[in-house]
A and B are shown apart, each in its own frame.
Chain A
Amino acid sequence: MGKISLNDSYEKKFGWNMKVQSVNETEPGLSSRTIRDISGFKKETGRNRWIHDFRMKALKHFLERPMPKWGGKLDGIDFDDLVYYMSGVDKGGDNWDDLPENIRKTFEKLGIPEAERKTLSGVGAQFDSEVVYHKVREDMEKQGVIFVDPDTGLHKHSKIFKHWFGKVVPAFDNKFAALNSAVFSGGSFVYIPKGVQVAMPLQAYFRINAPKFGQFERTLIIADEGSRVHYIEGCTAPVYSKDSLHSAVVEIVALPGSHVRYTTLQNWSKNVYNLVTKRAYAFENSTVEWVDANMGSRLTMKYPSVYLKGAGARADILSVAFAGKDQHQDTGAKAVHLAPNTTSRITAKSVSKDGGRTSYRGLLHIAKRADNVKSSVRCDALLLDPESKTDTYPYNEILNETAVTTHEASVGKIGEEQMFYLMSRGLTETEALNMVVTGFFDAFAKEIPLEYAIEFNRLIQLEMEGSVG
């Protein structure tokens, strides 16, 4: 019996690429010239000149700052060989039919227009460096919901954009936040007005098409008082022999009483380094939920964070990861309690197989002034074979004695008795293994909308294929 190899299946479903003529692109490598070119494409002049200066300062910081020595192996990234900006359109629009044929076909193949018609309040679709399509449902627009790319945010909503941009994740936060701040392009700018409840999710889809390319989208979400929104992002890329880089920054501002959920289904091809900074400010009585799934990429380093700045704020972070052959998922979460009566819950689940490695890296910080904090952390790892690895790095800084915290961790292997039970009913070894792994992730699948849960389970099965010899 022939085995289906993982890359074959990914290649068929997502790993293909399209011939697309670029309209704008920078020379390979990174210098102040690159920044000037990008600022030029985006007309960052006049009153918007500040963003160009912001980029320049960030570039200097990026170049001066050493590579992080913790986390995963980053030496495969060839910064001089990457293209930092490339776009097949000059400016995106709100009509799929206006797009160059192969860009439109790409998103059709990925099922984005279809999902838009069925279950979404708005869609953004990014192809390499630019958001080529953006549209928000009319009823949402009427209520004042803004869902545009950052360039439009900068030009059309400059006051609020400037007020929050780069505040949650400063340009100098870490080396890769600096890189993103220097060359960012695409992403989303979202504003939900006071009290507005966005019933169906807003979705952004990020597609890398070009080889040896870096995608640096930037997302800023501002949920005004008492509003509610669910933002979902997905991503895929072609399978190439040379490595690509994806380094995003996501900033969320949850104003008092708001509720923001941010769901990610990360499914990059295995030649992509995925180094992302995601952080939220949660003000009084707001709730921020990160629901974060990492299945693809060569290396992911990502630790969605919530800074609980207002009394009564809540953070709920659910992070799942799957690492197969040659993959390292270094993921986790941070909860920084800066105000009293704040709560956080972190749940991390990971599966490693075929020598893959998962790491949980977490920070729980409780400031001196933050009384009556409640926090729980739970990490479960499942190893499918003896070659695979998992490790945990929990850091706790608890400076207030009134805090109630719990931490639980487990590492499991798939039990012979479980496999025998399932197989004794007729399931093949592969089916049985799939079932145990799907069950292990069920807590995650239940948290996301049904269509995404189905897709997630399909992706897990794709990852599991060929795992039993």
Chain B
Amino acid sequence: MLEIIDLHVSVEGKEILRGVSLEVKKGEVHALMGPNGSGKSTLSFVLMGHPKYKITQGRITFDGKDVTHASADERARMGLFLGFQYPTEISGVSLFNFLKTAYNSSREEKVSSMEFREIMKDKMELLGVHEDFVKRYLNEGFSGGEKKRGEILQMAVLGPKVMILDETDSGLDVDSLKVVSNGINKVASKENGILLITHYQRILKYIRPNFVHVMIDGRIAKSGGHKLAEELEEKGYDFVRKEIEDG
């Protein structure tokens, strides 16, 4: 469903991704791991169409269409979702109103606030948040855990086809991690795919990936099954780095 072909990306003249290829198909969960600064967030932004990142080579296709140059909103309306590592604060805009507008943006038949409240109900319960939470201004003054719950709530409501989740686990305490992981698992299905970006292994206890990739210095240095995650847990990223150096 989401195919990344030999992607090279620069920001402010500096090349950050240096030939990334990856395919996420229906029903698959891919974990993308790697040390800080390896380019994971950059990849997530590029996949979502951030205007600051320049694609210098390669392509992205989504749901059979070339979206290499599509805008973020076009991709979103096609069913791509990015859960941000650092969600942006927007003052004066309530999470509820924003999400209703987003929900309606990809639908012919617009729902009213009342109808949308019904749609939200189950999802709010799933993420353990209440009415006052969705009335607050978007991410403003949210704790780290609240921000991530907010991201997954948005994902659950919008029901995307491919979900890119950038370090959804970072900054969460154990309870929040369980709630958020459970939320992701409930949304995951045979009909959608997940690219789960993480620095640590701990979320993989709750969400089991079919594939694990290791990104180092803007390239996917190694791919494997769930076992690879366990190996990384034991040996750290250095063993992969060493493998590269040893050729």
Q: Which residues of A contact B (CB under 8 A)?
A: 415-418, 420-429, 431-432, 435-436, 438-443
Contact of A420 among B51, B101, B158 (CB under 8 A): B51
Do A422 and B77 contact each other (CB < 8 Å), given the known contacts A438-B93, A439-B93, A440-B91? Answer: no
For the complex formed, measure the closest distance between the CB of A414 and the CB atoms of chain B, giving whole angstroms: 10
Query: Cα distance A460–B81 when bound, in Å?
Result: 29
Minimum-distance CB pairs A-B, first 4: A439-B92, A442-B92, A425-B102, A439-B93
Bound CA–CA A432/B97 (angstroms)? 12
Besides the contacts A424-B48, A442-B92, what 4 more A-B pairs have beta carbons closer than 8 Å? A424-B72, A424-B76, A425-B158, A435-B98
> A439–B82 Cα gap in the complex (Å)?
23
Q: Which residues on A sit within 8 Å (CB–CB) of B15?
A: none
Binding site for A on B (CB under 8 A): 45, 48-52, 71-73, 75-77, 81-82, 84, 87-88, 90-93, 97-99, 101-102, 105-106, 137, 154, 158
CB neighbours of A427 from chain B (8 A):
73, 101-102, 105
> Which A residues touch B154, using CB under 8 A?
425
Complex contacts, B45 vs chain A, CB 8 Å: 420
Query: Which residues of B lie under 8 Å from residue A441 when comparing CB positions?
Result: 92
Q: Which residues of A contact B48 (CB under 8 A)?
A: 420, 424
- Chain A's interface: helix, strand, loop or mixed, by majority? helix
Shortest distance in angstroms between A112's beta carbon and chain B's nearest beta carbon? 27
- Residue among A421, A425, A429 having the largest count of chain B Cβ atoms under 10 Å: A425
**Cβ contact of A426, chosen from B51, B91, B137, B158, cutoff 8 A:** B158
Distance from B39 Cβ to chain A, minimum over Cβ atoms (Å): 18
Instruction: Quote the shortest CB–CB distance from B134 to chain A (angstroms).
Output: 14
Please tell me if the beta carbons of A431 and B105 are within 8 angstroms of each other in the complex. Answer: yes
* A417 smallest CB distance to B (angstroms): 5
| B91 nearest CB neighbor, chain A only | A439
Residues of chain B with a CB closer than 8 A to A432's CB: 73
Check A418–B90 contact: CB distance below 8 A: yes
Partner among A416, A424, A439, A443 whose Cβ is within 8 Å of the Cβ of B52? A416
B92 touches A423 (CB 8 A): no
User: CB-CB < 8 A to A417: which residues of B?
Assistant: 88
| 11 A-B pairs with C-beta separation under 8 A | A421-B87, A425-B98, A425-B105, A426-B77, A427-B102, A428-B73, A431-B101, A436-B90, A439-B90, A439-B137, A440-B91
Number of residue pairs A-B, CB distance < 8 angstroms: 78
B93 and A423: CB pair below 8 A? no
Question: From A380, which residue of chain B is reached at the shortest CB distance?
Answer: B91
> What is the bound-complex CA distance between A438 and B90, given in angstroms?
11
Tell me which of A423, A431, A439 contacts B72 (CB under 8 A). Answer: A423
Question: Contacts A431-B105, A435-B98, A439-B137 hold; do A426 and B90 have CB atoms under 8 A apart?
Answer: no
Q: Is the CB of A423 within 8 A of B73?
A: yes
Contact B72 A420 (CB under 8 A): yes
- Let me know if A442 and B93 touch, CB within 8 A: yes
Chain B residues with CB below 8 A from A424, complex form: 48-49, 72-73, 75-76, 81-82, 84
Q: How far is the CA of A425 from the CA of B100 in the complex (A)?
A: 10
Instruction: Indicate if the CB atoms of B76 and A423 lie closer than 8 Å.
Output: yes
Q: Which residues of B contact A429 (CB under 8 A)?
A: 71, 73
Nearest CB in chain B: distance from A351 CB, A: 12
The reply to whether B92 and A440 form a contact with Cβ atoms under 8 Å apart is yes
**Minimal beta-carbon separation of A378 from chain B (angstroms):** 14
Task: Tell whether, in the assembled complex, residue A436 and residue B93 are in contact, meaning their CB atoms are under 8 Å apart.
Answer: yes
- Given known A416-B52, A428-B73, A431-B101, contact A421–B106 (CB-CB < 8 A): no
Pick the residue among B71, B90, B91 that contacts A421 (CB under 8 A): B90
Are B88 and A435 in contact, CB atoms less than 8 angstroms apart?
Answer: no
Contact (Cβ within 8 A) A438 B92: yes
| Nearest chain A CB to B175 CB, angstrom units | 26
Contacts of B50 in A (CB 8 A): 420
Question: For residue B105, which residue of chain A has the nearest CB?
Answer: A426
CA distance A436 to B99 in the complex (A): 14
Closest to A415 in B: B88
Query: Which residues of chain B come closer than 8 Å to A435, judged between CB atoms?
Result: 90, 93, 97-98, 101
Separation in Å of the B199 CB from the closest CB of chain A? 21
Nearest A-chain residue to B86, judged by Cβ:
A417
With a CB–CB cut-off of 8 A, which chain A residues contact B137? 439
Report how far A431 CA is from B91 CA in the complex, Å. 16
In the complex, A165→B171 CA distance in Å?
A: 64
| C-alpha spacing A431/B84, complex, angstroms | 20
Give A421 to B52 CA distance when docked, in angstroms. Answer: 13
Give the complex CA separation of A87 and B154 in angstroms.
56
Kindly name the residue among B75, B77, B90, B158 whose own CB sees the greatest number of chain A CB atoms within 10 A: B90
With A425-B98, A426-B105, A427-B102 already in contact, the answer to whether A443 and B72 are too (CB < 8 A) is no
Residue of B84, B88, B97 with most partner-chain A CB within 10 A: B88
Nearest CB of chain B from residue A259's CB, rounded to whole Å: 27
Contact A426 B92 (CB under 8 A): no
Taken together as a complex, chains A and B put the C-alpha atoms of A416 and B45 apart, in Å, by 13
Q: How many angstroms between the C-alpha atoms of A421 and B51 in the bound complex?
A: 12
Which chain A positions have C-beta within 8 A of B91?
439-440, 442
Across the interface, which residues of B come within 8 angstroms of A442, CB to CB? 91-93
Q: Collect the chain B residues with CB atoms within 8 Å of residue A443's CB.
A: 92
Q: How far is the CB of B162 from chain A (nearest CB, A)?
A: 13
Could you say which residues of chain A place their CB within 8 Å of the CB of B81?
424
- Report B-chain residues with C-beta under 8 Å of the C-beta of A420: 45, 48, 50-51, 72, 88
Bound form: Cα–Cα A427–B107 in Å: 12
Closest Cβ of chain B to A279, distance in Å, is 30
Find chain A residues with CB under 8 A from B84 CB.
Answer: 421, 424
In the complex formed, the residue of B with least CB distance to A437 is B92
A426/B73 in contact, CB under 8 A: yes
Q: How far is the CA of A418 from the CA of B140 in the complex (A)?
A: 12
Chain A residues with Cβ below 8 Å from B90 are: 418, 421-422, 435-436, 439
Q: Is the CB of B102 within 8 A of A426?
A: yes
| CA A425 to CA B102, docked complex, whole Å | 6
* Given A435-B98, A438-B93, A442-B92: A423 and B71 interface contact (C-beta under 8 Å): yes
Chain A hits for B72, CB < 8 A: 420, 423-424
Give the CA-CA distance A422 to B52 in the complex, in Å.
15
Is B88 touching A421 in the complex (CB atoms < 8 A)? yes
